């Protein structure tokens, strides 16, 4: 996973006020992989929102 901004959901705080993290994968690091795996699980189970 290349470096990139990550907008985290914080319960009770509007998205516009939630923190943004800049994640960078380092050799041997696990946090970036954990977020990537989490995103992939959510994406695989997602369904499109009907328009209109």
Indicate the number of domains in the chain: 1
Residue 20: what pLDDT? 73
Residue 33 lies in a domain: yes
Residue 33 makes CB contacts below 8 A (sequence gap 6+) with: 1, 25
Distance from C-alpha of 13 to C-alpha of 25, rounded to nearest angstrom: 27
Residue 51 lies in a domain: no
State pLDDT tens for residues 3-45.
555 556 667 878 778 777 777 777 887 877 787 788 888 889 8
Structural domain range at position 33: 4-45
Residue 50 lies in a domain: no
Percentages helix, strand, coil for the chain (3-state, rounded to 5) are 35, 15, 50
Residue 35 lies in a domain: yes
Residue 28 lies in a domain: yes
Give the Cβ contact number of residue 51 at 10 Å. 4
Residue 13 lies in a domain: yes
Q: What is the DSSP string of 34-50?
A: HHHHHHHHHHHH--PPP
Residue 6: what pLDDT? 58
């Amino acid at each position: 996973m290349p470096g990139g901004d990550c907008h985290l959901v914080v319960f009770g705080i509007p998205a516009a006020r939630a923190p943004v993290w800049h994640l960078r994968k380092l050799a041997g690091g696990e946090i970036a992989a954990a977020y990537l795996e989490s995103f992939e699980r959510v994406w695989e189970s997602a369904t499109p929102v009907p328009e209109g």
